[in-house]
Structure 1
Amino acid sequence: MGYVRSRKFCCCLPVRFGVFCMAILGLVGGGIFGIAGFVEIHKLYSGQLELESDQKTALWIVSLTYSWMAIVSLIGLIGSIGKLRSFIGFYAYTVTINTLVIMAAGIYLVWTLFHKREDSDVNKCVAGANGDVGDVKHWVCQKGFDVIRILVVVFFVIIWIFQLVGIFIVFDYVGQLREEAALEDEESRKSQPAWSVTAPTPSGPAMRTTYDAAPYDPPMQGGWQSAKSPYAFTGPSAQGQGR
């Protein structure tokens, strides 16, 4: 029986285990961020949060993509447990597209943080702060906003790296499942019995040929059985004796 070697990542861990862990983290993380995004959307439409139109679009995209990632990760989790190649293949291609969408939405959201909201958010922070020292309040709000932006960027980069590495692991596992399926097909073909072709057997009596006949078959009539020679002429030795 053939054997397909298990592919590894991180030197020793099987790729199936990596897909299992990635699916669990995607299910939990996607569910958390998806729910958090829809909570912010609820605050937005209830008047508790103010965002610009492009930021609303980015929030919707991020919320939907992370929610979809949670659903897809559930499919990947089932596929990794049951070694279902169709589930793993669907999970691999879908999570790739989902990751690209998340990266595009995250880049756009980070760009808005660095280019459009800085002055307005800092002014809101200064206006809401207590005290009369204006320069200090402005400095604290400015630095706080800078720290938040850096943390958001670091967070997104970590998520993107994790997702990209996970995509390579999932596709590696898809290749392993294809090798296992090909080996099973080959073994099933080898185990099938070979077809033997035999000549048909005639139903009537077989025809006698010269190869099957005896050197001489005497006739069955009584007169011919008593004859000395069945030939019309005798040999030279017989003629000599007659003389």
Structure 2
Amino acid sequence: MSRHFCFCIPVRAGVFLFSFISFALATLSAGLGWFIFHLVEANKLSEIEDKMTDDEKTSFEEGVHKYKWAIIVGSVIFTFIALVSFFGFIGSIVRNRRMVKAYSVLTIFNFLLGSLAAGFLLYAAWSHKAFCVTIDGTQSCTNNHLSVGQKIGFTIGVIVQWLIQLYIVTIIRRYYTQLEEEREYRHDFRLNPTGAGTYEAKEGLLATQAPYPYADNQHSFGHHA
């Protein structure tokens, strides 16, 4: 039985849409990361510094060279997300259970990380403590100047976004459960076909029947009766 979300939309369509969006965004992010890494290795950062001032160029180049490892890690992560999202996209088309399962596990993992980030943002919004970061021996601190109304609005926005992400995770999980149920049904039907007029899907329509036991000479009534 096909499952739905938003009352009438099949979960398969939801997985198709979400996986495509995830694949597109992750591919763009990974492509940008690998492009910047290529410019760093080839000493061609000047190609993307046209609209920067001299001070901005210096800071940008120093930061990119210093944190080149972060660019590599980020590019690898987004490449992995794009790959798994592609599996989910293809899986929704061909109804492949393993591909959809891999995509479902990835979305759950991303949701957990996003929940931690949302919790930190809410703590930062409602906390009155200053956040300080030390860079090259220089400490830089920022204070929270949000009003109560702004904090409430920010909190509502974070909660709504969190609920949407949870709903997406649930939709993808529903489709995986649907594929599992379809697989179990096909397996049970092949083993135990029931009902008049039904037949085994993998058997021919003209299945061989056992001979009638009284059709041979030893059991039939003949002239010796």
TM-score interval for Structure 1 and Structure 2 normalised by the shorter chain: 0.5 to 0.7
1:68-87 matches, cutoff 5 A:
68-87=80-99
TM-score (ref. length: structure 2): 0.53
| 1:22 corresponds to which of 18, 27, 31 | 18
Give the equivalent residue in structure 1 for 2:168: 166
For 1:107 and 1:170, locate their aligned partners in 2 and report how far apart those are by CA, in whole Å: 24
Report the 3-state secondary structure (helix = DSSP H, G, I; strand = E; otherwise coil) of the residue aligned with 1:184.
helix
| Matching residue within 134, 140, 149 for 1:120 | 140
Q: Cα distance, 1:194 vs. partner?
A: 8.5
Q: Offset of 1:187 from its aligned partner?
A: 3.6
**Which amino acid is 1:74 matched to?**
F
CA displacement at 1:90 relative to structure 2: 1.8
State the distance in 2 between where 1:166 and 1:111 align.
25
Q: Taking structure 1 as reference, are residues 29 and 10 closer, same or farther at Cα in structure 2, changes over 3 Å only? A: same
Residue matched to 2:6: 10
Are residue 90 (structure 1) and residue 92 (structure 2) matched?
A: no
CA deviation map 1:102-151 (0-9, x unaligned): 443565578679742488266xxxxxxxxxxxxxxxxxx9869xxxx999
For residues 47-70 of structure 1, give each alpha carbon's deviation from its aligned partner in whole angstroms, at most 9, with x where no partner exists. 14799x9xx98x987765544322
Q: Distance in 2 between matches of 1:150 and 1:63?
A: 35
Q: Greater CA deviation, 62-71 or 169-178?
A: 62-71
TM-score (norm 1): 0.50
User: Could you say if the C-alpha distance between residues 78 and 62 of structure 1 is closer, same or farther in structure 2, counting changes exceeding 3 Å?
Assistant: same
| Number of positions where the alignment pairs a residue of Structure 1 with one of Structure 2 | 180
For 2:132 and 2:179, the matched residues in 1 are separated by: 48
Is the 8 Å Cα contact of residues 62 and 102 (structure 1) preserved in structure 2?
no
**Cα distance in 1, alignment partners of residues 177 and 4 from structure 2:** 12
Question: Quick check: which one's strand share is greater?
Answer: 2
Aligned ranges for residues 166-205 of structure 1 at < 5 Å? 166-188=168-190, 189=193, 190-191=199-200, 192=203, 196=210
Q: Distance in 1 between matches of 2:81 and 2:123?
A: 23
Q: Which structure 2 residues correspond to residues 101-180 of structure 1 after superposition, within 5 A?
A: 101-104=113-116, 107=119, 115-117=130-132, 120=140, 160-180=162-182
Q: Distance in 2 between matches of 1:68 and 1:108?
A: 25
Equivalence for 1:100: 112
Secondary structure of the residue aligned to 1:120 is: strand
Contact 1:92 1:170 in 2 (8 A): yes
AA aligned opposite 1:21:
L
Is contact 2:23-2:81 (8 Å) kept? yes
The alpha-carbon deviation at position 9 of structure 1 amounts to 0.1
Query: Once superposed, what is the RMSD of the aligned Cα atoms?
Result: 5.1
Which structure has the highest helix share of the two?
A: 1
Q: Report the structure number with the largest CA radius of gyration.
A: 1
